[in-house]
């Protein structure tokens, strides 16, 4: 029982780390159509996340792997029931990763615009659908006595889940804006700071409504604390950003992201996937977990390697801690677009040879 609780908490920590780190990546991608005015400023935005975005995605792999190993029944039911939604997230993440690598390969405005659109879509879709997915996990989905999902994709698109998606979408956009204000110099920094209040108000309204709905629907009293922390952190982040304190604004949006995740997992426990069909069919930490021996081995492995992962991640952010200026961005490079070959008139060519 103790190991089951331990791994439930560890999985919550892993998802918190993923949303904290990947959240500002998503935010930067979503703000691409609104902040930069030219290619140099777009390059400035990309450079803020360029050294870290792929490392941030590793936390998703670790969270998924830990869920598979510690709670295999939860993993199987969730990934089969949410198959289409998770497939859309996977495709969006692949599209975004390919776009980061390919947009600079050809020195063409049209080429770059197309890949920029892919980055925007690849950032917006996961930011929305992760909220939809976790809202459904907390609210519960139709499961039968064999723990099989009996709903459809439309079942997942209920009002509570859609509100959760909009809440995470706005929260990650705000997180990305405070990150850009912290990591850039020049006009991008000024515009990012100006954008924080405009994003912050919808984030506070949507996130607050979603968390209050979650709190009253699940009636887990202690989760009121992270709800208050998240709400207070968002309000303080907006006010502090107006005063130009980008570092504290980013810390506060990061705190809000973690507090929201804690509130969701706290509302879920001891279930890991409630059944809306019959509470007796719900998956819990007890009936969805691996054997005690497996959990014990995993605990020793986590104890040995987690500090190394955290140390490496901290070192990476320390190395790339400097703000990015427009002067740091080189001129666009890449292969020149291939010019179209002029068509040759066969009749004219034949006549020339005859002469």
DSSP 319-354: HT-SPB-GGGSPPP-SBPPPPPPPP--HHHHHHHHH
> Are the beta carbons of 195 and 31 closer than 8 angstroms?
yes
Q: What is the rounded distance in angstroms from the CA atom of residue 86 to the CA atom of residue 83?
A: 5
Paired with 324 in beta bridges are 184
Whether the per-residue pLDDT at 352 is higher than 50: the answer is no
Whether the per-residue pLDDT at 293 is higher than 70: the answer is yes
pTM equals: 0.90
Q: What is the mean pLDDT of residues 269-288?
A: 93
How confident is residue 54, by pLDDT bands cut at 50, 70 and 90? confident
Q: What is the mean pLDDT of residues 119-143?
A: 95
Paired with 184 in beta bridges are 324
Instruction: Give one word for 147, left, alpha or beta, with left for phi > 0 and alpha for psi -120 to 50.
Output: left
Nearest-10 crossing angle of helices 83-102, 72-81: 80
How confident is residue 160, by pLDDT bands cut at 50, 70 and 90? very high
pLDDT for res 351: 46
Look at the block and give the residue holding tokens 């705000």: 174
How confident is residue 353, by pLDDT bands cut at 50, 70 and 90? very low
Q: What is the mean pLDDT of residues 137-154?
A: 90
How confident is residue 344, by pLDDT bands cut at 50, 70 and 90? low
Question: Over pLDDT 90: what percentage of the chain?
Answer: 71
pLDDT for res 350: 47
Q: What is the rounded distance in angstroms from the CA atom of residue 185 to the CA atom of residue 326?
A: 7
Q: What is the rounded distance in angstroms from the CA atom of residue 67 to the CA atom of residue 82?
A: 15
Please state the φ and ψ torsions of residue 244, each to the nearest 5 degrees: 85, 15
The two tokens of residue 166 are 């909009």
pLDDT for res 338: 55
Q: What is the mean pLDDT of residues 164-183?
A: 96
Q: What are the tens digits of pLDDT across the range 180-198?
A: 999 999 899 999 999 999 9
Q: What is the mean pLDDT of residues 303-313?
A: 88
The two tokens of residue 4 are 């089951």
Look at the block and give the residue holding tokens 């570092």: 247
Cβ contacts of 354 within 8 Å, gap of 6 or more: none
pLDDT for res 140: 92
What separation, in Å, do the N-terminal and C-terminal C-alpha atoms of the chain show? 95
Whether the per-residue pLDDT at 51 is higher than 60: the answer is yes
pLDDT for res 289: 93
Whether the per-residue pLDDT at 349 is higher than 60: the answer is no
Q: What is the mean pLDDT of residues 63-90?
A: 92
Cα–Cα–Cα angle for 119, 125, 126, rounded to 5 degrees: 100
Round the average pLDDT of the chain to a whole number and report it. 90
């Amino acid at each position: 029982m103790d190991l089951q609780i331990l791994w439930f908490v560890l999985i919550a920590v892993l998802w918190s780390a993923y949303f904290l780190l990947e959240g500002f990546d998503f935010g930067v991608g979503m703000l691409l159509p609104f902040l930069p005015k030219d290619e140099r400023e777009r390059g400035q935005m990309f450079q803020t996340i360029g050294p870290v975005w792929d490392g941030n995605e590793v936390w998703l792999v670790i969270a998924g792997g830990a869920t598979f190993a510690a709670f295999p029944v939860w993993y199987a039911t969730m990934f089969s029931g949410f198959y289409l939604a998770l497939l859309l997230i996977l495709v969006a993440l692949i599209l975004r990763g390919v776009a980061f690598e390919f947009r600079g390969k050809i020195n063409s405005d049209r080429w770059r615009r197309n890949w920029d659109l892919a980055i925007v879509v690849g950032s917006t879709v996961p930011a929305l659908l992760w909220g939809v997915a976790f809202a459904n996990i907390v609210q519960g989905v139709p499961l039968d006595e064999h723990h099989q999902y009996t709903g459809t994709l439309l079942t997942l698109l209920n009002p509570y889940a859609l509100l959760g998606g909009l809440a995470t979408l706005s929260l990650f956009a705000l997180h990305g804006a405070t990150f850009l204000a912290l990591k850039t110099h020049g006009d991008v920094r000024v515009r990012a700071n100006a954008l924080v209040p405009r994003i912050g108000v919808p984030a506070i309204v949507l996130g607050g409504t979603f968390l209050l709905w979650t709190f009253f629907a699940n009636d887990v009293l202690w989760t009121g604390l992270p709800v208050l922390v998240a709400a207070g952190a968002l309000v303080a982040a907006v006010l502090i950003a107006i005063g130009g304190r980008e570092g504290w604004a980013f810390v506060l949006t990061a705190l809000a992201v973690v507090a929201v995740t804690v509130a969701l997992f706290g509302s879920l426990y001891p279930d890991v996937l409630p059944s809306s069909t019959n509470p007796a069919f719900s998956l819990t930490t007890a009936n969805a977990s691996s054997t005690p021996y497996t959990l014990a081995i995993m605990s020793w492995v986590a104890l040995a390697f987690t500090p190394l992962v955290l140390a490496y991640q901290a070192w990476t952010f320390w190395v790339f801690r400097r703000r990015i200026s427009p002067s740091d961005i080189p001129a666009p490079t890449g292969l020149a677009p291939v010019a179209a070959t002029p068509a040759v008139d066969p009749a004219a060519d034949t006549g020339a040879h005859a002469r």
